[in-house]
Structure 1
Amino acid sequence: MPQSRGEELMKKSITRRYFLGGVGLTLAVVATPAGFRFLAGRKTDTLSEVLRPSIWVRITPDDRVTVLMGKSEMGQGIHTALPMIVADELDADWNQVRIESAPVREEYDDPDAQQGHVTYGSTSVRHLYEPLRRAGAAGREMLLQAAAQRWDVPVSECETSQSQVLHERSGRAFSYGQLCEAAARLPIPENPRLKEKSEFKLMGTAVPRLDIPAKVNGQAQFGIDIFVPDMLYGVVARSPAYGAKVLSYDEPAAMKVEGVRYVGEIKRGIGICADTLDAAWKGKEALNVKWDKGVQPDLSDELLDSIFRESLDKEGASARSDGDVEDALSQAHKQVQAEYFLPYLSHATMEPMTCTAHVLPDRCDVWVGTQGQTNTLQKTAQITGLDPEQIYIHTTYLGGGFGRRGWTEWVEEAVELSKATERPVKVIWTREEDMQYDSYRPGNSSRIVGGLDEEGRLIAWSHKIAASSIIASLFSKIGGDSLLFRVIGFFRSVDAPAVEGLENIQYEIPNMSVEYVEVKTPIPVIFWRSVGNSHNAFTVESFMDEMAHAAQKDPVEFRLQHLQHNPRAHRVVEVVAEKSGWG
């Protein structure tokens, strides 16, 4: 009989070929109500004493319930949300729950993303909800069975609450820690009973976040907080224009700066390492680097504006085509046309990009707040020549991510400089560098033409969007032959992120077309929080206001009129109007 998706995730075979071909052990980041702390490993419990109902969960004799996963905490709350799922099914005492970063190896990969350790797209709870529920439920059943055997009573007479198994008739109780060893000897149930929603005690409630105490008392460590003995500080003189090459620089002048220990060329510029960050900055200033003009020296806001405007006159690739837009517009009682231009945007995370690396002949340690541990491991392996098993990714808290920290430029710089100096190196970007060398939300322009019938209903919507391609940028970063992108279906003429919120627009319009025109500039682009929706929601809703005005209708009523068969979206608009005191 074929396995269900849940059974597959419970067993999660470790024989599937790891697409990066290796593993890396993370330094555990542990959350407790008393705060987070870093652990190099736990050796106080023997294997026989630990109950592991799933790779995601560990229950130990001290009554601790530890949830392991490859998801990064950047303020979105998953280091609380994910343990809640386990704890609810397990009936665990919330005060005994903690979380550890899982080793960067296949069995802890995101079960749905097929991209290793990644945190992106608001998918953490969605992807791990089922496996974590099943893990908690399996642990609960094993503990119930272990207690029933110890008491020689039917399992049906036992119940769980607050990390205890209770036998109400006799008044006896065992803590989960007391049952660990016996439960660990039992087979893991393949199909544990999951609770009904009415049985939930934690999910859907406001529990104390596990990370708050440490963030309040200063114990929480972000990438920028890392200090390693004998560490140097690294900065990089990067090109001031896209594609610019170094013509000359004054290495002796930089080396004369007190505290500067190393100057040398790396992939993205000229690296300077020093005893202090201030000395590294002064060494960078002394370099007096001369650059050529780069690949597009005339790049300016004015040029970009003209490029995006001209792109709207080009033929686009079809992303959506419903009905006959051209015919409907020709018969419309009233037409409205508008154009929108949105800029490239920096991610502007609160914590600038930073990484600490220590390359040794037989291992490499990387301390970084990252949304992509697997990608980080892969890039480190390429630079060092080490096997993935020799690389240890230590995931810290992230001072904001928004998609930016899925990439690795600052990691690569730290690893390159550590390899060159044979010492630990901490690279910290300045705020100015963080803005200037970001990979941005794509700039874009839209031309929308809408048609109304005599009753003021939308009968046609033609939408052409011109934008830089995130997918093309990813191909250039990772490689055009990447099996990953072919598998997930991004090898297409329409940039999928660019038309998010347009391909699936919620309003009911019988005749609708969406076209995409790729805009090519040297400006790098990547995912930015909510991706295409971040700009398309603005253009769509702005144009809906224009159409409501043309129809001489209230903007809220106009929207509700075009959501008659979408009750959920219809109710969202109603609630927003109610909460905002509209009208």
Structure 2
Amino acid sequence: MKTGLSIGAAVSDGFLLGFSVPATAQGRYTAIAGDGDLTPRRGVFEPNAFIQIDTFDAITLLVPEVEMGQGIYTSIPMLIAEELEVSLHVVTIVHAPPNEKLFVDPLLRAQMTGGSTSIRYAWEPMRRAGAAARTILISAAAKIWRADAAECRAVQGHVVNSMTGSRLSYGQLVSVASQFPPPEAIVLKQPNEFKLIGTKAKRLDSPEKIDGTAKFGTDFRVPDMLYAVVVSCPVFGGKLVRVDDSNTRKIPGVRQTVSLDSSVAVVGEHKWAAKRGAAALTLGWDNGTSATYSIEKVIEELAAASQRAGVVARKTGDVAKAFDSSKTQISAVYEQPFLAHATMEPTNCTVSVRTNGCDVWVGKQVPGRAVDVAASVTGLPRNNITIHDHLLGGGFGRRLEPDFIEHALRIVKQVAAPVKVTWIREEGMQHDMYRPYYYDAISAALDSQGKPAAWKHRIVGYRPVCASHIQERPRPRRNRGSRRTLVRTTKPARGSRPARGSTHPDRIVERSRPLRSTFVVESFIDELALVAKADQVNSRRNLLRNAPRALHVVNLAAQASGWSTLLAKHRGHGISFMHAFGTFLSMAVEVTVSNEGVVSADRVVCAVDCGLAVNPDTIDAQIQGGVIFGLSAALYGGVPIKNGRVVQSNFNDYRVLRIDDIPHIEVNVVKSLEAPGGIGEPGTAALPAALTNAIFSATGERVRRLPVGNQLRKV
């Protein structure tokens, strides 16, 4: 569906673009793409980039972040609607179009959804957008009534005159309100005035997902569209040298074969024809120097790299002196494997390339990059490229990368029709943009009381750049600069750093790739507690005693999980803490380890202080999903490489938790008036350490290499 855009007035936070989109539903998300011409329309009040009200009282809210299951199409509208004084039941939600200048997330410096930043970024700008519109509407009503604006107030989509009882709907105020400039002063509500924020709101995008009308990228159809299935070289960095498609061309419905440097696409009248055609290909590959590469070689190179100096991300105090003076020193190596994103919706992209234009229908986390890639591949001006947004059937970071969009564009340039390009599950699994393999060498020196006095943490990462179809041999890389993704998870919690000479350890962190290192740090904290003969919870209490929010979530998780309760034989409990993305989180896990060494997670208790909870239901859901995602990775995840190839191909050998594997998950959200923190990733990042600490409690075996798999010995 096409929609017209128009330029609206600037709000004080600097956003300029306004939208004129017909409201097609009430209280619903609707998959209207942010494309079309920039023709102003009458009868629409557009005070800023995020709000449009027409004369029929239809209210449309534009969301600058992408919905991929995290609930952002409900939480961000809650921020706007709160200050606008309207109910969620009367608004329609639409996507923001690609526009790096207007919709940049300042925390990520791009128009991007990721890094648990959406609500942190939106917290004030979206509320200011709603408050600005409310202020103008009140002023418009006061002008009509020739009353003092102080006598008027906004109530449920109306402005009411407190002195006379007169009432005008927002739609009735559109004409007059459109004449007002942006307000010079905006007053935001205080938390005790909130009506929506902090309540458990139902997801606005749920009805369409339930009845099947919601449009994901894989659902999109266009007239005369063809379908393509891709086959890529199975070896990293390999090249295509020979194609025999004689059998493929015999299959009914196959239209053509498209060859690229390291892949082949079969184009058909429907996906089944394309898939059958791809399976019938006879291909010759030049596997190159990676043909004998293996995961063992990766680990060998990482171990060697860990002996070399890297970039110093953080240094506090005289570490060398502290180690020299300590009689007790502990060292360990932790390893985390390559991980596939394994999104439920297979990677896909629909493209139409014409002489004078290009349309791309895709679900992605970085809309602006799609425009950049399309312009680069087609050579068309950016203004001739239209990106149509769709819901994401799982992102997890995979759809941050535009490689699959580029690949689809290169294929479709050779086809005289629109084409939906799909990577079947096996191709998507074996040509993912994998989470890097990490090798952490960590050591600590204890003082005479058994407390950490010094700390060294050296991290090496290794990434195979086989990003779906643009492959090169995996090689270890040294980072040239400091990346905050690591520092946020290795530095102490805010407020926890004691004065010099106290028990907080001197520390140095060296690294050559960024890493969310909660698994390593929180596992090692447990190891230090064991050497000091201290309870794991008490050890953390001591380290976090000057960080009230951090200490509170640790105490809450311990209490809610019944930490002091003795568990039966073969059962154990573990705990972890993390402070990242502006959120404090502690997680306690109970496990049972069978006589055969099989681990079962029985219960997970999480305490989270993410500041003011905009929608508590969303927080519960994201923590639960994060726990399941993290458990899958910690227990079963990992992408081995053998002869330069990824071993797994589908969910049968890249296992995720089945429904009967899921533990009881309890989420305790701390009530807070602090600004919101991020919640998308903490639930996943905190899980592995709590799990492996629990395994040690049950078995006495320390897991330092993930996944747990079958490495535990039989009892």
What TM bracket, shorter-length normalisation?
0.7 to 0.9
Q: Matches of 1:285 and 1:309 in 2, distance apart?
A: 40
Question: Taking structure 1 as reference, are residues 46 and 362 closer, same or farther at Cα in structure 2, changes over 3 Å only?
Answer: closer
Q: Matches of 1:162 and 1:315 in 2, distance apart?
A: 62
User: Cα deviation per residue 1:269-326 (whole Å; 9 max; x = unaligned)?
Assistant: 1221011212112222222111112232221122122222222222222222111222
Please report how far the alpha carbon of residue 79 of structure 1 lies from its aligned counterpart in structure 2 after TM superposition: 0.7
The one-letter amino acid of 2:519's match is F
Task: Tell whether 2:243 aligns with 1:249.
Answer: yes
Mean CA deviation greater in 279-288 or 555-564: 279-288
Give the one of 457, 464, 489 matched to 1:501. Answer: 489
Task: Tell whether 2:510 aligns with 1:515.
Answer: yes
Matches within 5 A, 1:69-80: 69-80=63-74
> Contact 1:273 / 1:417 at 8 angstroms: preserved in 2?
no
Question: Taking structure 1 as reference, are residues 28 and 279 closer, same or farther at Cα in structure 2, changes over 3 Å only?
Answer: farther
Mean CA deviation greater in 209-218 or 118-127: 118-127
Equivalent residue number for residue 424 of structure 1: 418
Give the one of 515, 522, 535 matched to 1:532. Answer: 515
3-state DSSP of counterpart to 2:280: helix
Please report how far the alpha carbon of residue 29 of structure 1 lies from its aligned counterpart in structure 2 after TM superposition: 11
Please report how far the alpha carbon of residue 335 of structure 1 lies from its aligned counterpart in structure 2 after TM superposition: 1.8
Mean CA deviation greater in 391-400 or 289-298: 289-298
Q: Matches of 1:118 and 1:26 in 2, distance apart?
A: 23
Q: Matches of 2:269 and 2:146 in 1, distance apart?
A: 67
Equivalent residue number for residue 196 of structure 1: 190
Q: Matches of 1:408 and 1:52 in 2, distance apart?
A: 32
3-state DSSP of counterpart to 1:99: strand
> Contact 1:337 / 1:450 at 8 angstroms: preserved in 2?
yes
> Contact 1:31 / 1:100 at 8 angstroms: preserved in 2?
no
Q: Matches of 1:429 and 1:404 in 2, distance apart?
A: 13
Q: Matches of 2:209 and 2:356 in 1, distance apart?
A: 35
Please report how far the alpha carbon of residue 247 of structure 1 lies from its aligned counterpart in structure 2 after TM superposition: 1.9
Equivalent residue number for residue 486 of structure 1: none
Matches within 5 A, 1:318-333: 318-333=312-327
Please report how far the alpha carbon of residue 28 of structure 1 lies from its aligned counterpart in structure 2 after TM superposition: 9.8
Equivalent residue number for residue 14 of structure 2: 11
> Contact 1:340 / 1:446 at 8 angstroms: preserved in 2?
yes
Question: Taking structure 1 as reference, are residues 42 and 202 closer, same or farther at Cα in structure 2, changes over 3 Å only?
Answer: farther
Q: Matches of 2:342 and 2:21 in 1, distance apart?
A: 27
Task: Tell whether 2:480 aligns with 1:492.
Answer: yes
Equivalent residue number for residue 527 of structure 2: 546
> Contact 1:28 / 1:39 at 8 angstroms: preserved in 2?
no
Give the one of 226, 232, 252 matched to 1:232. Answer: 226
Please report how far the alpha carbon of residue 505 of structure 1 lies from its aligned counterpart in structure 2 after TM superposition: 6.4
Equivalent residue number for residue 268 of structure 2: 274
Equivalent residue number for residue 306 of structure 2: 312
Equivalent residue number for residue 660 of structure 2: none
The one-letter amino acid of 2:538's match is E
Q: Matches of 2:234 and 2:101 in 1, distance apart?
A: 42
Q: How many aligned positions are there?
A: 537
User: Cα deviation per residue 1:538-561 (whole Å; 9 max; x = unaligned)?
Assistant: 111100110001000110100110
> Contact 1:222 / 1:398 at 8 angstroms: preserved in 2?
yes
Give the one of 430, 439, 445 matched to 2:439. Answer: 445
Equivalent residue number for residue 460 of structure 2: 466
Q: Matches of 2:26 and 2:376 in 1, distance apart?
A: 36
Equivalent residue number for residue 374 of structure 2: 380
> Contact 2:28 / 2:92 at 8 angstroms: preserved in 1?
no
Q: Matches of 1:299 and 1:450 in 2, distance apart?
A: 34
3-state DSSP of counterpart to 1:240: coil
Task: Tell whether 2:353 aligns with 1:359.
Answer: yes
* Structure 1 residue ranges without an equivalent (≥5): 1-6, 15-24, 478-489, 519-530
Question: Taking structure 1 as reference, are residues 125 and 268 closer, same or farther at Cα in structure 2, changes over 3 Å only?
Answer: farther
Q: Matches of 2:284 and 2:36 in 1, distance apart?
A: 52
Mean CA deviation greater in 183-192 or 249-258: 249-258
TM-score (norm 2): 0.71
Q: Matches of 1:453 and 1:499 in 2, distance apart?
A: 25
More helix per residue: 1 or 2? 1
Q: Matches of 1:26 and 1:316 in 2, distance apart?
A: 52
3-state DSSP of counterpart to 1:187: coil
Give the one of 519, 533, 549 matched to 1:568. Answer: 549
* Structure 2 residue ranges without an equivalent (≥5): 1-9, 471-477, 498-503, 565-715
TM-score (norm 1): 0.86
Matches within 5 A, 1:158-237: 158-237=152-231
Mean CA deviation greater in 106-115 or 121-130: 106-115
Q: Matches of 2:35 and 2:447 in 1, distance apart?
A: 68
User: Cα deviation per residue 1:513-564 (whole Å; 9 max; x = unaligned)?
Assistant: 111146xxxxxxxxxxxx722xx10111100110001000110100110112
Give the one of 499, 520, 539 matched to 1:558. Answer: 539
Please report how far the alpha carbon of residue 411 of structure 1 lies from its aligned counterpart in structure 2 after TM superposition: 1.5
Q: Matches of 1:29 and 1:550 in 2, distance apart?
A: 64
Identity across the alignment (%): 37
The one-letter amino acid of 1:401's match is G
Question: Taking structure 1 as reference, are residues 461 and 310 closer, same or farther at Cα in structure 2, changes over 3 Å only?
Answer: same
> Contact 2:53 / 2:174 at 8 angstroms: preserved in 1?
yes
> Contact 2:311 / 2:480 at 8 angstroms: preserved in 1?
no
3-state DSSP of counterpart to 2:168: strand
User: Cα deviation per residue 1:192-231 (whole Å; 9 max; x = unaligned)?
Assistant: 2222222111111112221111111111111111111111
Q: Matches of 1:301 and 1:81 in 2, distance apart?
A: 42
Q: Matches of 1:346 and 1:28 in 2, distance apart?
A: 40
Please report how far the alpha carbon of residue 340 of structure 1 lies from its aligned counterpart in structure 2 after TM superposition: 0.7
Please report how far the alpha carbon of residue 114 of structure 1 lies from its aligned counterpart in structure 2 after TM superposition: 7.2
> Contact 1:28 / 1:38 at 8 angstroms: preserved in 2?
no
Task: Tell whether 2:40 aligns with 1:63.
Answer: no
User: Cα deviation per residue 1:42-98 (whole Å; 9 max; x = unaligned)?
Assistant: 99x973321111122111122222122332100111111111111111111221122
